Amino acid sequence: MLIGVPKEIKNHEYRVGLTPDSVAEVVAHGHQVLVETGAGAAIGFSDDAYRAAGAETAGAAADVFAKAEMIVKVKEPQAVERAMLREGQILFTYLHLAPDAEQTRDLVASGATCIAYETVTDGNGRLPLLAPMSQVAGRMSIQAGAYCLERAHGGRGMLLGGVPGVAPAKVVVLGGGVVGENAIYMALGAAADVTVFDRNVAVLERLTQRFGPALKTVYSTKTKVDEAVVEADLVIGGVLVAGAAAPKLVTRETLAQMRPGSVLVDVAIDQGGCFATSRPTTHDEPTYVVDDVVHYCVANMPGGVPRTSTFALNNVTLPYVLKLADKGFREALIEDPNFLKGLNVINGMVTFEAVASALDYDYVEPAAALAA
């Protein structure tokens, strides 16, 4: 199979779908790789390094899309990239379709086979291809929040961990999954006052066992969340419903009661965000203010640390790339029901139920779509 790796074009996105080491593995399996010139240059992967690993290079994304049987990316294809997709071509990347009607429409029209990293599961129902970026984003959320709390950046002028004699900042984490756990790890390490909310008691028990009494765990109800958010200095939104739009946990009315200079970091923004006032931002302009509350809603947070993120992502995506290339997408998906859950769009059909429901498409069961 000929696998194409275009350069990412989203704002300040420097990650790359395959590292030179990953290319070498793919080539060792008897496949070809075509990498766009400069695709990994920003994180230290030269064109020469890709050629040494066995890839060919192409001067433009159009050449990669025109020739490749499978496109391996990091972020969802932008409009100009979606226009280059063709019927029967495989797209393997993050998609986050539920809150993105325009992208979904274009992918349906393309006729391409679109497999989303974020909806592939494992035998335990976890999301193995989303987890490493959730780890990165969770840890970054505290760095970003601490920065935004500085007065020069619109915040209350608080040091996250305080100092002896001065209370630390109150950090509220909504969701105790991978994002939340990593945010907690960083916030407690900075000596902040941390409370986590989740509706899964087993998750709260696990977090208590890991972090001990330094972490406050609370079962999530609207009343309890509202009370905590109003008193918080920093709120981390880390809720996730796989493949679906994120639930709105904080209303505009609650936000209006928060203290001026408080900070919201919405890690769920890729799936539409979990605050009523959230809208996607970029690394160029990461924040905006509503009712004197600073909002940090960067839609590709891990892109801010692209070298770390690229290695972490390739560690988990490479085995799936090899399955698709070695077996073809039909056999690779049919033999693995967990991998099959990654199929979101094929031949103009929407095959992920949460996406179909959110955007009013007819839902086609993935196995039936493949059989068709």
100, 106, 198, 270: the active-site residue: 270
- In the residue annotation, 96 being an active-site residue is answered as yes
31, 96, 106, 233: the active-site residue: 96
Q: What is the spatial distance between Cα 361 and Cα 349, in angstroms, rounded to a whole number? A: 8
Cβ-count burial 283-298 (b if 16+ within 10 Å, e if not):
beebbeebeebbbbbb
Active site residues: 96, 270
